[in-house]
Amino acid sequence: MRILCWAGVILGAAVSPLHAQSIGLFADPNGASCSITAPSLSPFLYYVLARLGPLNGITGAEFRVDGVDPAWFTTASPAPGSCDPGCPNFVGDGGPLAFPGCAAPGSGYVLLVTLQSFAVAPVPARTLRIDAARFPSNPAFACPQVSLCDAPVFTRMCVAGGAAVVNGACTVVVRDRTWSSVKAMFD
């Protein structure tokens, strides 16, 4: 059964280096806010969601959550059926999860992991980020990634890693790119 957790990510024979879509952190399961309220001495929830845009669905993802305070008591609950019987520590080294079929977005997002933290001291503002797994299952894909619903290939696709702000306001940053920097991504 452990193979199921890795199947959608490791079996991918064809790969795609294109960056598209995203995996992000949100205060709610609908992806409406990236500002997480974290009171001390009370549990708080936040969600890792894959935003798929025009994609029909995914069979898996690989990532880690960076920036969680190690003093918090944090548990990660992968989406039902995505990691039976076990999954990696998404807040530590990260790793893959795989769905038993094609997970299609309901409201434009696919729930990957629900995180619950408990802080025993006041929580200052901090940023949490989605990043590549520390030890990617395929070193050619050292990025947050999803695997597509194109069995038997399960094409990998690098995606943007999003961020959320704990006890602060999050803003969206748009960076200007030159043609040479865009072209360099594909060289």
Q: What is the pLDDT of residues 92-133, one digit of tens each?
A: 899 999 999 999 877 779 999 999 999 999 999 999 999 999
Indicate whether 183 pLDDT > 50: yes
**Looking at the domain that runs over 2-184, which CATH code has it been given?**
2.60.40.680
DSSP letter string, 103-131 = E--SSSEEEEEEEEEEBSS----EEEEEE
Task: Report pLDDT for 85.
Answer: 61
Indicate whether 4 pLDDT > 70: no
DSSP letter string, 39-55 = -BTSEEEEEEEEE-TT-
| Residue pair 58/133 in contact by the 8 Å Cβ criterion | no
| Residue pair 62/144 in contact by the 8 Å Cβ criterion | yes
Overall pTM > 0.75: yes
